[in-house]
């Protein structure tokens, strides 16, 4: 599953965090940044995604205000 598209989109929007594949064939991750940028990323993940991906459903949880970012960039975890 090519996550370089997700990384490119995150870097373009200026959000940080990570993404990884799960053993169930789904994708999990964390996104941090300004609220409007995070919302743009959520929209991209829900509607666009990587060219070869099929998006059946997206679930966003644990949303909260943070005082500082926990990550310095956006990357893929394995």
2-35 pLDDT tens trace: 688 999 999 999 999 999 989 988 889 999 999 9
- Give tens-digit pLDDT for 44-73: 999 998 888 888 899 999 999 999 999 999
- Which runs of consecutive H residues, i.e. helices, occur in 22-76? 35-47
Distance CA 3, CA 61 (A): 21
Edge-first strand listing for the sheet containing 74-76: 27-32, 16-21, 74-76
The better pLDDT of the pair 1, 62 is held by 62
Rg (CA), the chain: 12
Q: Look-up: residue for tokens 């205000």?
A: 65
CATH code for 2-76?
3.30.70.100
Q: What is the pLDDT of residue 19?
A: 94
Q: Where are the domains of the chain?
A: 2-76
pLDDT of 1 strictly over 90: no
- Which runs of consecutive H residues, i.e. helices, occur in 4-59? 4-13, 35-47
């Amino acid at each position: 599953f090519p996550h370089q598209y997700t990384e490119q989109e995150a870097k373009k929007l200026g959000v940080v965090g990570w993404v990884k594949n799960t053993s169930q064939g789904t994708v999990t991750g964390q996104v941090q940044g300004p609220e409007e940028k995070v919302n743009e990323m959520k929209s991209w993940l829900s509607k666009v995604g990587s060219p070869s991906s099929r998006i059946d459903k997206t679930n966003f949880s644990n949303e909260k205000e943070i005082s500082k970012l926990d990550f310095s960039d956006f990357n893929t975890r394995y």
